[in-house]
Structure 1
Amino acid sequence: MTASPASARTLAAREALEEALVRLRIGKPTNPKLAELAVRGKLKVTVTTVAAEAGVSRTLVGVENCRFPDIRRRILEGDDGKEQRPVKGVSAVVRQLRADNAELRRQVQVLRSQQAITLARMLEAERIAQLARDDLARTRKGPEGDPKTGLVFPMPVRARPPYGRTRKKT
């Protein structure tokens, strides 16, 4: 008995998908566009790339209840055996990026206000330090502005020898 043309095409598609999956996993695709991605190191094993490499329609492995669910499962498991997360819609990605952007803008606003407070404190500290320097300079110069009549620092007084001791005469 000979196989029907439809079953022959199905077997050929299965073989093409399995071979394409192997070629993509080892990084040796025959599709020119995928080969270029492999050279640049940006080739990923996805349902679309496997179908393109096999030269078959993506719908054979691209949907949940497809014709080859075992091949689809192997593609989605990837090299490490972990399930890849499903691709989000563009609107969901844009919505998430906008939320992230809003959060980052809020953080920038908080950091700018903290920076302004720190700058104000620094300027106030510089103003107080300048006042202290001016006051010290005024004190050192004295009332008439003469540096010789400025601050008087007490000098230590030499202590007298204790009672009962006398100096030796030499």
Structure 2
Amino acid sequence: MPKLRSTPPITGVEKELMDAFKRLEEGVPNHPDLLKKARLKKLRINATTVALEAGRARTLIAHDKCAYPRVRAKIKSLEEPKGPSTSYEDVNRTLREQNIELRKMVIVAASRVAAMIRRMDAVDKKAAEAIKKVVRKTSKKEDVSKANNVAGARRLNETLAVVIPLQKDSDSAAD
């Protein structure tokens, strides 16, 4: 049967950080800067403010692999989920980022169109050359066959038109 791991009790630095977290949550911090923010209703609970209130370094709870993950989990549970921002600056920043992305997409699309046009021109040129070659070959064959037909017809006509009778010449017989 495997051993169950129990979480160690909160002691030392972790207790200080948890106490600081509770004070910030209640809105009664000890640190003068945080107290001023609490009065102005601008106090936010995050890793930096908890560490400042506890008098410790922020790096103890500020990253995922920190030394005190329970304190970090409590802080993260209070953070508001980030939704779409509505301030003009954020909207403007988002629109500028989208504009940059769209400009890049336009450049890529234009280069693809240019490459496609070059390919189409090359294919068109090849096709025109192939058509010329076929026309040349077929016209030569037609010319040769017409010439043969005409020549054959002439010979045929000449032979039919000129009939040489076989006669015995009296002169040739005497020889």
**TM-score, structure 2 normalization:** 0.42
Q: Give the number of the structure whose alpha-carbon radius of gyration is greater.
A: 2
**TM-score, structure 1 normalization:** 0.43
